[in-house]
Structure 1
Amino acid sequence: MDLNIYTDLSFLTYAGDSYQQSIHSIQDSPVQALQGDGVTLSCNYSSATYFFWYRQYPSSPPQFLIKEYMELSGFTLKKDSDKKMFHLEISAAAVTDSALYYCALRPTQGQ
């Protein structure tokens, strides 16, 4: 079965202020995968201290999925500080993974 996985960007509100951080998704079009395939979604950032991913199903609000240093079966958040990227790895895609994914961050203090 062919799955469609979408990514988008998000700005996280922190301490009551909205920070316009430079963050964007690497994927310009839906990621397609077969059931059981490994999938990696990626975002670039300019500066941040903490990273998050959210998932949104059709007709539903976004739901928190995973944050840095958190363990969640089937999902891993990895950060590449040298390239200023962070990734969501889905170990084995399932039909329930067909959704819109948002990358988000908590900005560095003073940004």
Structure 2
Amino acid sequence: MLGENMPVVEVTTVPADGYLLDVREIDEWQAGHAPHAVHIPLTELAQRAGEVPQDQQVYVICRVGGRSAQAVQALNDAGWRAANVAGGMTAWAVAGREMVSETGEEPRVA
């Protein structure tokens, strides 16, 4: 069952140098994301999982936590150490964590 025994971390505990995987769609990513995040949309994760390091903790984030939960489940089932970032980018923004955009506009959660 999805979410059962799923590791979850609060946005404030994600280390600045941690591997943060953003699984949102491209338009959401472009509107605003964490500066050090790596972008692999959930729809591409199965094909691109080899890009995600297996030798460190992976923090997975989306807008509010649903897609990242799916990604965490799949990664952990395949041997990664992944945790869902509670509240996603919505909570990230509320917590005042740094964000950048690809649009030239003020970063926002789309």
Structure whose alpha-carbon radius of gyration is higher: 1
TM category, shorter? under 0.3
Q: Which has the higher helix share?
A: 2
Q: Which has the higher strand share?
A: 1
TM-score, reference length from structure 2: 0.28
